[in-house]
Structure 1
Amino acid sequence: MSKKIDVYGLSDAEIKTLREIAYKLYGKASVSLLAKKLLQKKLQAAAEPEPIQLPPPKCQKRITLRLPDKDRAYLEAAADKRRGTINDVARDIIQSHISHHPILSAFETDTLSQSNYQLVMIGRNLNQIARRLNAGENVSLNSQQIGELKKFIDAHVGKVNHVLQTNRRRKRE
């Protein structure tokens, strides 16, 4: 069931600018659609809990663990897979448990960065194809297919950037 929400206090110039933004983003000069999409994004972002804020450590202390051979083997395999050390894996597991968020290894972060770079390059190529289409040149894709692909890529780039920034923020905390 839809409920109506009224927004008061916007000037005509502000409404005009909002219509232009809505048109650029969604192809419709609808302030209502723009507001709806922005509110939905906020609701999705609110569903993700913020990481726990812990005070910075005053000093780093060594902890020694005695583990069964199978647990040590697991940590060694995970370290090889992540291209890190056993200490890195153990620290990431502990930090992930404390913060209730996965911790990305340096290798995973590099992989995500490379993925994002490749997607950005694909997006640029798609823009070049779109320009050719708009110029009336022959291209094997239609503009609707390109638009759908661009939306998919933009969404993926946004998600990957969010993961990377969240991981960077956690490392600073």
Structure 2
Amino acid sequence: MKEAHFRIRDLTNDEYASLKNLAIQLTGKPSIAALAKQLILEKLGKNDHKLSKEKAENQGQRIEVRLQSPDLKELKERARQSNMTANRYLAMLFQAHTQKAPVLSTKEIEALYQSNAQLLRIGRNLNQIAKALNSGSQTAISTHLLNNIKDELDTHTEQVADVIRANWERMP
């Protein structure tokens, strides 16, 4: 793919504002470059590259929120703890609030992923134990092995409980 760069010089403030408004109408974004690209591609008969306004509206829009310094620090800290950006963290909180359903943070998804990986290992261990017991051969299933499986199950249960608790705390 190639790039083409160009400048539009000597625009008045009104012309610039009009171009931005036209860009929003035709592309869903206030980007004059996106508007220019769309118009050029349309002239070339390349309508398949056209960015529809509906598609742009579903991609996400920008909103600015002003916070006091202590609130901003708290937001950034909570986002960091959840392995998320401040913007993504705010979007997650809003989705959880409007949907009245839990929306998981990156950290919570990672915890559930790890928990499921542990469950798979536990399942394999249990299958090996069942196979050994069903084969009729003499087995040396130790209490230690069973305690390891119990410990893994306890860890899994704690991780899931932490995720559920975190979601309850976020819910209004």
Q: Could you say which TM-score interval applies, normalised by the shorter chain?
A: 0.3 to 0.5
What TM-score, normalized to structure 2?
0.46
What TM-score, normalized to structure 1?
0.46
